[in-house]
Amino acid sequence: MRTTVETIQQKIEELRKTLEYHSDRYYNQDNPEISDYEYDQMMLELKSLEKEHPELITPESPTQHVGGTAKREAGVLVKHRVPMLSLADVFSREEVDAFVQDMQAQFGNPEFVVETKIDGLSMALRYTDGVLTTAITRGDGIIQGEDVTENARVIKDVKTRLKHPIPYLEIRGEVYMTDAAFEKVNEKQELLGKKLFANPRNCAAGTLRQLDSRITKERELSLFVFNIQETQGREFTTHTEGYEYLKSNGIRVIDHYKVCRTADEVWNAIEEIGSMRGELGYDIDGAVVKLNSLAQRAIVGATSKVPRWAVAYKYPPEEKESVLLDIELSVGRTGRITPTAVFEPVRLCGTSVSRATLHNQDFIDDLDICIGDTIVVYKSGEIIPKIRAVKKEKRPQGAKRFRIPDVCPVCGAPAVREKDTADIRCTGSNCPAQLERHIINFVGRDAMDIKGFGANYIIELVRLGYLKNVADIFSLKEHREELIEQGIIGKEKNTDKLLKAIEDAKANQPDRLLTGLGIQGVGKATARSLMSHFGTIEKLAGASQEELESVSDIGSISAEAIRSYFAEPDNRRLLEKLRDAGVNMEAEQEEAGTVFAGKTFVVTGTLPTMGRSEAVSLIQKLGGKAAGSVSKKTSYVLAGENAGSKLTKAQQLGIPVIDEAEFLEMAAAENQGK
């Protein structure tokens, strides 16, 4: 018996540890690794074990507390006036009926409201005399959350002033992102070469916590209000009466809700919501069943974790079998080659689907997928089609495993797998699929820094044939009249302003040009080192493998990438065109400082006044080296707010940790010594 109890306790501890990890990924990092369904199943298993062995329940168990931990990323912390609790999840009609019957046993014939459960981030809004004063996230759900007032003000569904004010009103809603807004954000992320968001919920959560409200406004968040938390100066008797008051103030409440009295009516409303999941235009992760009477809610009360007057029904993931017809390859603007499964159409969550991403070769290998296989398709978050498994027992004879070819499907250039990643990328510098992204990188702040040259202009200029490579940028002045006439950049003033910025960029130091060329492994710091060593682009272009490897921080792989780039005839012709346009290719030799000579710094976290790139530039200017990871060779770690694992490792290794003030004091010694 003792062995059995020890085994159960070990299982409980493993489940708690796993759930805490995934809860942190979901609430605090906005980057979940597993689906809600998988998380819910583990939580159910833990609850079942704890119910059988209540002596093993601890206050720290995930079953005993709510959500995430509050962070300071988006502002100061604010105390909750009313706890922002989570809901008890149920997964079957039997559990829904049991909840309805329990409420009926207490109140006779109570009313229930069944409404959509939006998959987003909870936020409370506080109004004093009808004016929005504070917006707060759930945070830890009990004590405090993050102040996100400035970001809330730019969400279109948030009303900053009420038409029918009362002395105090606190409401709770769900911040979310529509499918259309999410696709728009990810298109821009890909265009800028940034990491794509996994799903709308992650994107909405990260956006609400942004320190810059302009980003929040640009990403077009939405809000549904689903509860009145607290009032002063007016009382409501029912949930739906509260909704009518909110709607009279222009506040957007849950779109789909229905008042029910019987268990059958409640279940029919849940099924009705379930049938429309694929047609809503935004993600839901269930249906909420709640008492309509606020007085009855007060009688029922809540536990430390959930209200007793409501439950959330979670829909099971819908899965269907289909036959894989083909695997298509596409090339993104970063050159990444993405395989997409094309299969016989099936209906999932109310919509027909016939395509799903296969991500990369590793994903294909893990699935062991072949064209002609019978596959299991489901919708992640009720929106994104995904392939869960292959029915290998139905595999046709002679089926072959799919391999992404080693040439680009668009331009035919070599396709290579990036070191330490699963990504396979096209190496062709003039690949049409990459051109827009390449030019955006070229004109960006870290490269040629041509101010005012927005992505929208570039996309249009590429589409119309004005830009076929980065050198064409410097020929745009020859098309001034056409550009003004077509209004691509704007009217005369805007066009001339951009053309002047392009002309001024010709005088940039060549390390900026080198960064903009997009050679694999050559970022700002490497470009600066290379130009400091070789002096001119021409000398760099003619350097041997050995000469390249003699430069600090240039290894054999980077050296080979640089040598291969300049060996390509198309790239040599591009450089010639840039030179003919008057773009500077010769570095000014400036005397480097020495105060940081022989020292290696790692910069981590958010500094009070400096950007990380600014700190790295100063380190290099004063003769030091900036590294990306902490090791025994690190001299100092320059740490700001939210420094994270690099700070921890520095402390473990005994590496000196300095703040921005100490860093600037050390840098000032350069001038003092002169």
For position 70, what pLDDT does the model report?
A: 45
Which CATH number do you get for residue 474?
A: 1.10.150.20
**Rounded CA Rg of the chain:** 29
Same domain, 113 and 262: yes
Same domain, 7 and 98: no
Same domain, 306 and 181: yes
Render pLDDT for 72-128 as a digit per residue (tens, 0 to 9): 344 578 899 999 999 999 999 999 999 999 999 999 999 999 999 998 899 999 999
**Rounded Cα distance, 608 and 602, in Å:** 16
Same domain, 336 and 437: no
- Is residue 117 part of the annotated active site? The answer reads yes
**Rounded Cα distance, 16 and 10, in Å:** 10
pTM, entire model? 0.51
**Rounded Cα distance, 666 and 454, in Å:** 38
Q: Which of 400, 428, 456 is the last residue of a domain?
A: 428
Q: Which two tokens stand for residue 115?
A: 């409404």
Residue 594 forms part of a structural domain: no
Place of tokens 């529509």: 178
Which CATH number do you get for residue 421?
A: 2.40.50.140
For position 520, what pLDDT does the model report?
A: 78
Same domain, 534 and 629: no
Q: Which two tokens stand for residue 583?
A: 């773009």
Residue 593 forms part of a structural domain: no
Residue 117 forms part of a structural domain: yes
For position 500, what pLDDT does the model report?
A: 94
Same domain, 326 and 309: no
C-beta separation of 381 from 120 below 8 A: no
Same domain, 191 and 290: yes
For position 15, what pLDDT does the model report?
A: 86
Which one, of 523, 522, 567, 515, lies nearest residue 544 by Cα?
A: 567
Same domain, 392 and 459: no
For position 25, what pLDDT does the model report?
A: 63
C-beta separation of 375 from 322 below 8 A: yes
One DSSP character per residue, 325-358 reads EEEEEEE-TTSBEEEEEEEEEEEETTEEEEEEE-
**Rounded Cα distance, 444 and 436, in Å:** 12
Amino acid at 400: K
Which ranges in 464-509 belong to alpha helices (H)? Answer: 480-486, 492-505
Residue 592 forms part of a structural domain: no
Residue 590 forms part of a structural domain: no
Same domain, 208 and 299: yes
Which CATH number do you get for residue 223?
A: 3.30.470.30
Q: Which two tokens stand for residue 129?
A: 């005399």
Same domain, 519 and 661: no
Residue 588 forms part of a structural domain: no
Residue 265 forms part of a structural domain: yes
**Rounded Cα distance, 399 and 491, in Å:** 59
Coil, strand or helix at 136: strand
Q: Which of 428, 451, 466 is the last residue of a domain?
A: 428
Q: Which of 428, 452, 487 is the last residue of a domain?
A: 428
C-beta separation of 541 from 572 below 8 A: yes
Which one, of 232, 234, 281, 250, lies nearest residue 158 by Cα?
A: 250
Q: Which two tokens stand for residue 651?
A: 């402390």
Expressed as residue numbers, the domain containing 617 is: 600-672
Residue 72 forms part of a structural domain: no
**Rounded Cα distance, 552 and 558, in Å:** 11
For position 1, what pLDDT does the model report?
A: 40
Number of domains in the chain: 5
Please list the ranges in the chain whose pLDDT falls under 50: 1-2, 69-74, 674
The torsion defined by the Cα of 362, 364, 368 and 374, in degrees rounded to 10, comes to 160
Q: Which of 117, 305, 386, 646 is catalytic?
A: 117
The torsion defined by the Cα of 592, 596, 598 and 602, in degrees rounded to 10, comes to -120
Same domain, 351 and 492: no
Same domain, 336 and 373: yes
